[in-house]
Structure 1
């Protein structure tokens, strides 16, 4: 069992207006055990916050970087932290 972590990822590229947040939520639910959200930012990026087991967050990050995502991902910047909690499932914001 891996430790619980918090992943915050900023995805840049053509990731707004293409269903990116919806697909990110679907992928998080498919992986299972993740709480958090996907949010469009004013500068065109999408912020993804996921909390859960490290291996599950790693799988979501790998998908964000190299997966079959809608639109076009030019890069992902991520930070790792301790979970803060307070999420009810995985939301689109």
Structure 2
């Protein structure tokens, strides 16, 4: 399993970013589980898992864009390879 952890910064709270990210993860073929949640500093935290890197890379590209109402200024991404899966589904926290 491969895991992507990302912190998305900018105008990303109060614009439907979490639900957009959930929907985006659901529609990408090959995505496993994960979560998206707001952080106290105004950013959004995302964790996603998949068996292959390609769907996670596509998801990361989408996170850089965000929904139309958002203004993403930075995305910090961290990759982990060969990890044990810890998510059964993708959820909004």
Q: TM-score surpassing 0.5?
A: yes
TM-superposition CA deviations, 1:23-51 (whole Å, max 9, x none): 00000000033210001000000001000
SS of the counterpart of 1:11?
strand
Does residue 39 in structure 1 map to residue 57 in structure 2?
no
What's the counterpart of residue 77 of structure 1? 76
4+ residue runs of structure 1 moved beyond 3 angstroms? Answer: 66-70
Matched residue count:
90
Please tell me the root mean square deviation across aligned C-alpha atoms, in Å.
1.4
What's the counterpart of residue 91 of structure 1? 91
Give me the whole-angstrom Cα distance separating, in 2, the residues matched to 1:12 and 1:86: 25
Give me the whole-angstrom Cα distance separating, in 2, the residues matched to 1:29 and 1:89: 9
Task: Give the CA deviation at 1:68.
Answer: 4.5
Structure 1 residues 92 and 49: alpha-carbon distance in aligned structure 2, compared to 1, 3 A threshold: same
What's the counterpart of residue 55 of structure 1? 54
Gaps of 5+ in 2: none
Gaps of 5+ in 1: none
Q: Given the two structures, how large is their TM-score scaled by the length of structure 1?
A: 0.88
